[in-house]
Structure formats: C-alpha cells, structure tokens
Amino acid sequence: MSETPWVGRSLRRREDERLLRGRGTYVGDVDLPGQLHAVFVRSPFAHAAIGGIDADAALALPGVVAVLTAADVPAGPLPPFLWDTPPEKLVSALRPHLRPCHPPLLADRPLYAGQAVAVVVAESRYVAEDAAELVVIDYDPLPPVATLERALAPDALVVHEGWDDNVAVRFVVAKGDVEGALADAAVVVRERFSTQRQAGIPMETRGAVATWDATGDGLTLWSATQNSHPLRRALSRVSGVPQERIRVIAPDVGGGFGIKGVLYPEDLLVGLLAMRLGRPVKWIEDRLEHMLSAVHAREQVHEIEVGLDAEGRIVAMRDHVLVDTGAYNPLGLVIPYNTIAHLMGPYRVPSFEATAEGVITTKTPTAPYRGAGRPEAVFAVERSLDLAARRLGIDPVELRLRNLVRPEEMAYDVGILYRDGEPLVLDGGDYPEVLRRAAELVGWDDVEIRERNGRLVGRGIGVYVEGTGIGPFEGAVVEVGDDGRVAVRTGACTQGQGHETVFAQVCADHLGVDAGAVDVVTGDTDGLEKGWGTVASRSAVVAGNAVAEAAGIVREQALHAAGELLEIAAADLTLTAGRVVPRDAPDRGVGLGEVARAAREQGSPLASTRYFEPGTVTWANGAHAAVVAVDPETGEVELLRYVVVHDCGREINPMIVDGQVHGGVAQGIGGALYEEILYDEEGQLLNGTLADYLVPTAEEVPVIELDRRETPSPLNALGLRGVGEGGAILPPAAIANAVEDALSGLGAVVRRTPLTPPYVRSLAVPDATHLRSSGEDEILRP
C-alpha cells in the first residue's frame, strides 16, 4: 500500500477531459464506412393480429436495402440475459408460480403499442424513416388489457397464448404468526398505496452499430448497453456465431439507470442485419420510440397492513403487491422479490407475510429502474408508519427509533431469504444514528407546521436499507505494460459512474502505483472471458473487489520478478508509486515497466484475472428528510429543504459518491412530484415526449444537504457497500410524508405519487370524498 491511499480521495475524473471536449465516443458517434441505417416499424395498437405486411412500396424507394418482418428472423422468445432463472435455493423455498415470458425479435402479434413488427434498412436514416412510413401493415386490432384491474378481472382476456390467466409470477414470503399478531395489535394501519409507471430517461437513447467480417474478426457490436458480456452471449444464441467470434463494446454510454440493463430485440437485430446484408448497420433510437418501447418501471399497488403495539412497536406486517409487468416479464421474479425483500427494511418485524403477483398487461414491459422495486416497498411502509405515528400520538422519528435494528443487534437475520437465495442478514450500520442525524440536520424539532404566505409547511422523514453488490460475479484483468502503465479491464460497464477513475484508485492502492498510471477499460468483451455488467448497485462492490484481488496478485508477481532482477529477496522489497525498491536502500529501485519487461521475457508476464463472487449482498442504509411548502389553492408543492444521511460503507471517491446520491435523489424527486407515464384505456401512451413527461430541471431540484457514515462492509475486503440506487429510494416516501404533514389539519392521506397539483389540491379540499378512508383503512383496536 502507498503511504496515502488513493481510495478515499475525491480524485477528479479521468473520463472528464474527453467528455468535456466533445471527444467522447457514444454509440451514435460510431461511424463505419458503408454503414446502413435501420429504422423500426412499431405497432400503433396495444394488441393486434397482423394479417399481412406489404413492403413493396418501401422497397421501391431508392436507397432502401431491406425490409424484414417476423417471418424473416428467428422465431421464438429472446434468449436468457440476467437472472431469468431464480437461484435454486430460492425456488425450492418459495415454489413460485413463474411463467417464462420474453418478447420475440419482431412481433407477429404485437402486445403493446410501440413493439417492433418490422425493420427497414436504407442508405440513410432519412430514407429509412421515409420507407418505414411506406410499409403497409394489415392490423386486426384485438382488445387491449391496459390496467391491472382489467388484467385480473375474472373475465379478463388472457394476453399470452396457452396461459389460463395473466399472472406471470406469484409467490408468498412469510414468517411468524401474522394473523394472531394483527389480532392482538393496538393499532393496525390498513391502506392501499400505489406508485405510478415511470420512465428512466437516460439522456442518450438506446442504439447499436454492428459490423460483420465473415472470415476475419467475426461480429462486432457497439451498443449503449449496461451489460456487454451477457449481450454477447445472447447475440451468440440468436446468430449461431460462437462467443469467441463476437465482440460487444459498450463505449461511452449516456446514462442507463437500469433502462439499458435488459435485453432488447433491437440490439440483436442490428447484429443479425449486419451479417445478413454484409454491411455495417446502425440504429439510433429516437426519443419518441424510446418513450414507447424502452422499458418502464414502478407501476405497483400495495394493500398493506401494519400492526403496532401501544408503544409503537411493529408486531406484524402483511402486504399484497401487484406489479404491472407490461406485455412481458423477462426478469422473472426480480422486481416483485426486490419489493418484498425490502418491505421490513431496517425494522424489527416479528411476523411478516407478503404476497406478490406480477401481472401481464398490453403495455410496454417494466423492468428494474434505479431502485428496482425498493422505492415502491419503502413508500408503502414509510407511509404506513407515519399514519401509525399519528394514530398513536408518537413522533414519527421516535416511532421509527423504537423499531430500528440497533447496531449491537448486527449481524441481524431478518428471517427470510434474499433474492440470491441466501438468508437476508443486515450486515452492519448504525440505523438509529443515521436517522437521528437526518432529523438533527433538518431541524426536525424546530420545523413546526405553520403557514407561510398562505402556504402550508410540512416535514417528512423516512429510512431505507438496500441490498447491494449482488452476484453472481464480476471480473477484472490487471496487467502491466513495458512502459509501466497498468491496464485494467472489467465487465462492469460504465454509464457515468466514473469507473475509469474509481477502479484506477483501487488498483493503484493494491498494486502500488499512481492512479494516473492506470488505464481502465470497461464494457468491452475483448480480453475478458466473462462479465455481468453494471446494474443493481453492484459494480463498485463486485468489480472493485475483483480489481483489488487482481492488483494484489500482480503486486506479488512484480515483487517476485524484481527480486530476481535485483537479486534481493521479494520480502525485502516494496512497490510504491510504480517503483520496486529495497526496503533498506530506496535509491536502488527499479521501475515497474522494467520489471514487467523482464517478467515477460521470463515467460511470466505481470498479469492477473480475478472473478469476485460475493457470498451474498451487503446492506447500505440511509435516512432522508424533506421540508415542503404546499399551496392548498393550487396544489403546488415546493421542496424547501432536502436532507440525506447515508452509509454506503467505505467510499472509494466521496465526490463521485455524492454525485450518485444527488442524481438518485433528483430522480426520486421526479417520481415524487412530476413523472408519470400515462396510458389511455386503449393502451395508448399519452405522454411520449419530454414536453409531456416531466423530468425535474435545475429549478425543481433543491440543494441536497448531505451527510454520511462509513460503516465498512464485513463481507468484502474493500469494505464497500453499493450506492448507485440509494438516493432514488426514499424521496417519494419522504416527500409524501411531508405533504401529508403539511395538510394534516385537513385530514389528508397521501396514497399515491406523483404529488401533482391536481392530486394535492384534491387532498386539500376538506369535503372531497376521496379524503375519507374507505372505512377500514385505519382501525384502532382497544
């Protein structure tokens, strides 16, 4: 180790220079000689049969090279990608109802508006778009199934052939005696909460470029993917080209947030088209088709019951979760299980029962988006606890403190399994202290509900935990060149998280070089056999530890090789700042490049490949507090303050960690107040532009006041916990709690997001019927 570790420093990012000068290489910037341009023809109907497709007029247009439909491409569902099959331990414990449900490459019976039914390839993008409009498709519209209610109705049209209902996944997770505990509870909050369908909106849309060299390099695909190795495997499956002859490159990628972490037909088709046509093919999605056909997220309904004793201690929790999966459910039970696994959160909950159902509708598929089922769980639970606190007359912070797992109880076995099939064990952190610190920062006891210029001020708080750093593995190659520069390659692609910088910091410490001497390449399948990719708050943990292990091995190799070179025992040498020196004669050192050359000439180059396989996830945690001003006349909510205290273990680069939290919170604020994907009853998307789907701008996101704790994870050598998603998990709950607090004099109950002006105004109108509970919503028992 060097004297001052690189890990822990807010080092400026290596990737900034090229990105700031406009010299990044995003997939749209890849420009190959002779390339053709693909444009997809998408179904205008949510559900339809196709009687026939007439491409003659399109093909007659000068410059059009090909038009392909479902009949021209391999049939059947897309191959597996990530986590399609749950781990055996989970399956044997849950015995879930789980139907495989992947989309085809091109649909002959489209199941959502926007699904690709044909692809046009032409000499230019403009001509391809002209031709796409000339493809005549004989659609026979079928009834849409546009809502959860309609999908679950007894007489519902069953969307997928061969199924007897629309339930793609169903399972129950339970412990203890929920029925008995609820019967004995002093108070039971019984509510129905819902979270709206949202879009992740990376600023760069999807896109891919492929080129095929039948005799030489094989198939090369550039894609704005979060998972280049799994994409290579899938492309191999559909193309028949062995993986060794396929190279997938995720170059600079303009944001992902999970939206680019699923397998899409378009990426595979671009590869197949390049092979079939013998020329490079490029496809760049436009924003309108992105809104229609890239995955959505978050649409859930919770029917939750939380029972507490008279002192405010949780005695039982029961939840029934409905997840709108859209037309397909490629990730199996990932989203519903994430939701269920995070319901008990950081709390002691003696009895628990949760039923999850993933339900097919004829809408765009949903998949993990930053938080991936957790914000939905946290919204239902944190809302319930605020209602309970009000019923019991206990301060919301105090009520939470009475239930939080305490540091001395760690490691705390929650009593259910996590999604990886391992026992869900909270592995450290001081949850009460994190909450107290957030309350202190926001001035919880000073913030009193009062009117300010006719607006009502409220405060809200919440807590979360997040399972991070999930397996199965990530790998890293570390090797030293003759020039002394260190090359690191990993399958953990980057979409802005600063991997080139943070993995250089990790490598620098474990090898003994300057971070500036380390060049990191991510997301290129060349030179690394296996990879998984960047999703699920896992890359720092899983790839970071792989880099550390590989760098540690290369360090040992270098000391050994230098020992032979200098004829000094390796144990008497040290490696610092890129030089191997005798401990007792620092002036006799030799540069790492020279050592590398000597080692290579001896036939044992300085290089190591390591795959890190975490035993299970490691838990990050945090508390958020919001202060809002609500205008009861207009329903407008202004965020006056937003406080975050979080613990993601040891931080490799605190500046980058802060940036991850800021960005996550901003997306969470969008979900709390503004963003909602809207469909009509025919399954038509109503707000498919950025003028209609409102993401926050600099005017809507306040200064985020941030504090941290660093409780090193005991589960990995670097002590890391993940941080990519944490910021996005709490804002809907914390802000909803604050809005309800502001309106508490009016008896309002916030049951959903987003808290748009019309919804908030309806809450603020005292005689509106929807203000009243349904009668059973809250039952105070004797």
Partner 1 sequence: MAPREIVVRVNGEEYRGSAEPRVTLVDFLRDELGLTGTHVGCEHGVCGACTILMDGRTVRSCLMLAVQAEGHELRTVEGLAPADGPLHPIQEAFSEKHGLQCGFCTPGFLMTVEELLRDDPDPSEETIRSRLSGNICRCTGYQNIVEAVRYAAELTREAAP
By CB under 8 A, residue 15 contacts partner 1: yes
Segment contacting partner 1 by CB under 8 A, of 96-104, 309-317, 585-593, 658-666: 658-666
Segment contacting partner 1 by CB under 8 A, of 18-26, 73-81, 214-222, 484-492: 18-26
By CB under 8 A, residue 201 contacts partner 1: yes
DSSP letter for 439, please: H
What are the angstrom distances between the C-alpha of 41 and each of 35, 135, 235, 362? 20, 8, 21, 18
Residue of 655, 746, 771, 779 that binds partner 1 (CB under 8 A)? 655
By CB under 8 A, residue 34 contacts partner 1: no
Instruction: Report in angstroms how near the CB of residue 256 gets to partner 1 at its nearest.
Output: 8
Residue of 1, 8, 26, 650 that binds partner 1 (CB under 8 A)? 26
Q: Are 368 and 294 in contact (CB under 8 A)?
A: no
Cβ closest to partner 1, residue 19 vs residue 717: 19
The percent of the chain in helix, strand and coil, each rounded to the nearest 5, is 30, 25, 40
Cβ closest to partner 1, residue 304 vs residue 706: 706
Burial class (CB in 10 A: 0-12, 13-18, 19+), 626: buried
Strand ranges in 526-570 using DSSP code E only, listed in sequence order: none
Q: Which residues pair with 521 in a beta bridge?
A: 489
Cβ closest to partner 1, residue 182 vs residue 502: 502
Cβ closest to partner 1, residue 578 vs residue 696: 696
Helix (H) or strand (E) holding 330: none
Residue of 103, 104, 110, 202 that binds partner 1 (CB under 8 A)? 202
By CB under 8 A, residue 293 contacts partner 1: no
By CB under 8 A, residue 371 contacts partner 1: no
Determine how β-strand 314-326 pairs with β-strand 351-360. parallel
Q: How far is residue 592's CA from residue 345's CA, in Å, rounded to a whole number?
A: 48
Instruction: Report in angstroms how near the CB of residue 670 gets to partner 1 at its nearest.
Output: 9
Q: Among residue numbers 514 through 553, which ones bind partner 1 (CB under 8 A)?
A: none
Q: How far apart are the first and last CA of the chain?
A: 63
Cβ closest to partner 1, residue 169 vs residue 656: 656
75-99 burial code (b ≥16 CB/10 A, e <16): eeebbbbbbbebbeebeeebebebb
Cβ closest to partner 1, residue 497 vs residue 608: 497
Q: How far is residue 150's CA from residue 322's CA, in Å, rounded to a whole number?
A: 13
Segment contacting partner 1 by CB under 8 A, of 55-63, 547-555, 618-626, 657-665: 657-665
Instruction: Report in angstroms how near the CB of residue 616 gets to partner 1 at its nearest.
Output: 29
- The backbone torsions φ and ψ at residue 301, rounded to the nearest 5 degrees and listed phi first, read -125, 135
Instruction: Report in angstroms how near the CB of residue 29 gets to partner 1 at its nearest.
Output: 4
By CB under 8 A, residue 656 contacts partner 1: yes
Segment contacting partner 1 by CB under 8 A, of 141-149, 320-328, 457-465, 661-669: 661-669
**Per-residue mark of binding to partner 1, 115-154 (x: CB under 8 A):** ----------xx----------------------------
Residue of 21, 453, 567, 584 that binds partner 1 (CB under 8 A)? 21
By CB under 8 A, residue 28 contacts partner 1: yes
Cβ closest to partner 1, residue 94 vs residue 666: 666
Q: How far is residue 598's CA from residue 565's CA, in Å, rounded to a whole number?
A: 8
By CB under 8 A, residue 658 contacts partner 1: yes
Q: Are 619 and 430 in contact (CB under 8 A)?
A: no
**Per-residue mark of binding to partner 1, 733-772 (x: CB under 8 A):** ----------------------------------------
Residue of 254, 371, 429, 635 that binds partner 1 (CB under 8 A)? 254
By CB under 8 A, residue 708 contacts partner 1: no
Q: Among residue numbers 262 through 291, which ones bind partner 1 (CB under 8 A)?
A: 284, 286-288
Instruction: Report in angstroms how near the CB of residue 26 gets to partner 1 at its nearest.
Output: 7
Q: How far is residue 763's CA from residue 776's CA, in Å, rounded to a whole number?
A: 19
What's the token pair of residue 759?
Answer: 């919804």
Number of residues that bind partner 1 (CB under 8 A): 57
By CB under 8 A, residue 62 contacts partner 1: no
Residue of 391, 662, 709, 761 that binds partner 1 (CB under 8 A)? 662
> Is the bond leading into 103 cis (omega within 30 degrees of zero)?
no
Q: What is the three-class DSSP state of 729? A: helix
Q: Are 709 and 614 in contact (CB under 8 A)?
A: no
Q: In the chain, how long is the greatest CA-to-CA distance? A: 89
Q: How far is residue 409's CA from residue 524's CA, in Å, rounded to a whole number?
A: 43
Q: Among residue numbers 401 through 420, which ones bind partner 1 (CB under 8 A)?
A: none
Residue of 3, 4, 22, 448 that binds partner 1 (CB under 8 A)? 22
Cβ closest to partner 1, residue 496 vs residue 563: 496
Instruction: Report in angstroms how near the CB of residue 204 gets to partner 1 at its nearest.
Output: 4
Half-sphere exposure of 297 (CA within 13 A, CB side): 28
Provide DSSP, 450-479: -EETTEEEEEEEEEEEEEES--S-EEEEEE
Instruction: Report in angstroms how near the CB of residue 32 gets to partner 1 at its nearest.
Output: 13
Q: How far is residue 546's CA from residue 730's CA, in Å, rounded to a whole number?
A: 30
By CB under 8 A, residue 61 contacts partner 1: no
Segment contacting partner 1 by CB under 8 A, of 38-46, 527-535, 654-662, 673-681: 654-662
Residue of 663, 671, 683, 754 that binds partner 1 (CB under 8 A)? 663
Cβ closest to partner 1, residue 428 vs residue 533: 533
DSSP letter for 404, please: B
Q: How far is residue 677's CA from residue 422's CA, in Å, rounded to a whole number?
A: 35
Q: Among residue numbers 478 through 497, which ones bind partner 1 (CB under 8 A)?
A: 495-497
Please name which of 482, 413, 394, 386 lies closest in space to residue 740, comparing C-alpha atoms. 386
User: Checking phi first, is residue 649 left (phi over 0); if not, alpha (psi -120 to 50) or beta?
Assistant: left
Instruction: Report in angstroms how near the CB of residue 275 gets to partner 1 at its nearest.
Output: 24
Q: How far is residue 617's CA from residue 467's CA, in Å, rounded to a whole number?
A: 5
Cβ closest to partner 1, residue 467 vs residue 696: 696
Instruction: Report in angstroms how near the CB of residue 251 gets to partner 1 at its nearest.
Output: 12
Give the position of tokens 């390339």.
Answer: 35
**Per-residue mark of binding to partner 1, 709-738 (x: CB under 8 A):** ------------------x-----------
Please name which of 110, 122, 117 lies closest in space to residue 136, comparing C-alpha atoms. 117
Q: Among residue numbers 684 through 703, which ones bind partner 1 (CB under 8 A)?
A: 689-691, 695, 697-699, 701, 703
Please name which of 503, 532, 329 lies closest in space to residue 420, comparing C-alpha atoms. 532
Residue of 255, 407, 443, 712 that binds partner 1 (CB under 8 A)? 255
Please name which of 318, 448, 331, 336 lies closest in space to residue 395, comparing C-alpha atoms. 448
CA dihedral sign, ordered 197, 400, 772, 304: positive
Q: How far is residue 162's CA from residue 360's CA, in Å, rounded to a whole number?
A: 14
Q: How far is residue 503's CA from residue 548's CA, in Å, rounded to a whole number?
A: 9
Segment contacting partner 1 by CB under 8 A, of 250-258, 296-304, 393-401, 627-635: 250-258
Binding residues for partner 1 (CB under 8 A):
12-13, 15-17, 19-24, 26, 28-29, 31, 125-126, 200-205, 252-255, 257, 284, 286-288, 495-498, 655-656, 658-659, 662-667, 689-691, 695, 697-699, 701, 703-704, 727
